[in-house]
Structure 1
Amino acid sequence: MESNYHTLKRTDNQLIMITHLSQLLTYITGFGGLIVPLIIWATQKENVEGMDAHGKAIINFQLSIIIYCILSIPLILVFGLGILTLILIGILAFIMPIVNAIKASNGELPSYPLSLNFVS
């Protein structure tokens, strides 16, 4: 027998903020900046209000960062341009999760520049 009961999503800006900040695990452990937010998003998108939008933005940003890093490697041979782009990507990948964690704590939607849309 099918139920028409729908669970209400809870508001949890702290969990969304932690999801954004978990991207910084890459700087601490060398990995985890994609895996941990992916797990949080996948398990909580049905339970937490706004988690789906934030999670998609995080996953798209992390996948974009990986693509940009891979594309920067051949550019190292072109006047060291790839080294400059890797530095800029590293700075962007460090600052934007912090900025969007602050936005999330205020209930605002995230915005990640140069983010390609893989998950919509």
Structure 2
Amino acid sequence: METNSTKNTAALIHLSTLTQYLIPFGNYIFPIIIWSATKDKSTFIDQQGKRAINFQLSLFLYSLVLCLIAFPVLFVTVFKNVSMSSIFHGEDWILEDFSLANVTGIVAVAIIAAGFFFLLKVVEFFLVIYASVQSSNGEDFKYPLTIPFLK
């Protein structure tokens, strides 16, 4: 049986990942600080802290892969239509003959990857809220699609 203090601490660890919207890398810093300071008090806190950190690290890895797919493709697609002389001579960048007909299938893959990234962030937000509610009720919560970096 978990005490209210341990349940609240576990919920706070999950909720502290939302600091990423205010502080860069807050979704890693604050859960690690709270978890490392309180992990010896309860196995429930230790378990939920590891799961929250593993989930954030997994999302970072998934986001990195999606960005590595989307950004280079979109970058090349836009800049292949820019005249190199305008770049080197300091002129205004004018997209030459840019139309939707120039958009290839690989650009569609990049747009889909960017869409998955957006969807990943929305799902992350709701899963963090759900995990904190479950933890505050003393229930064991496992994030889906999480790579167990910390065991």
- For the superposition of Structure 1 and Structure 2, which TM-score range results when normalised by the shorter chain? 0.7 to 0.9
CA distance in structure 2 between the partners assigned to 1:82 and 1:67 by the alignment:
14
Partner of 1:97: 128
Instruction: Please state which structure has a larger fraction of its residues in helix.
Output: 2
Partner of 2:76: none
The one-letter amino acid of 2:134's match is K
The one-letter amino acid of 1:90's match is K
Q: Does 1:21 align with 2:21?
A: no
CA distance in structure 2 between the partners assigned to 1:41 and 1:65 by the alignment:
19
Count of aligned residue pairs for this structure pair: 112
The one-letter amino acid of 2:37's match is T
The one-letter amino acid of 1:43's match is A
Paired residue for 2:56, among 43, 54, 62?
Answer: 62
Change (3 A) 1:49 1:74: closer
* Deviation sequence 1:28-69 (CA, Å, 0-9, x none): 223301110011111110013411110110111000010001
Kept in 2, the 8 Å contact 1:12–1:49? The answer is: no
TM-score (norm 2): 0.69
> Which moved further from structure 2: 57-66 or 41-50?
41-50
The one-letter amino acid of 1:23's match is T
Partner of 2:113: 82
CA distance in structure 2 between the partners assigned to 1:33 and 1:99 by the alignment:
16
Identity of aligned residues (%): 30
Paired residue for 1:53, among 47, 58, 61?
Answer: 47
Structure with greater Cα Rg: 2
Partner of 1:6: none
TM-score (norm 1): 0.85
Runs ≥4 in structure 1, deviation > 2 angstroms? 28-31
Partner of 2:144: 113
> Which moved further from structure 2: 62-71 or 12-21?
12-21
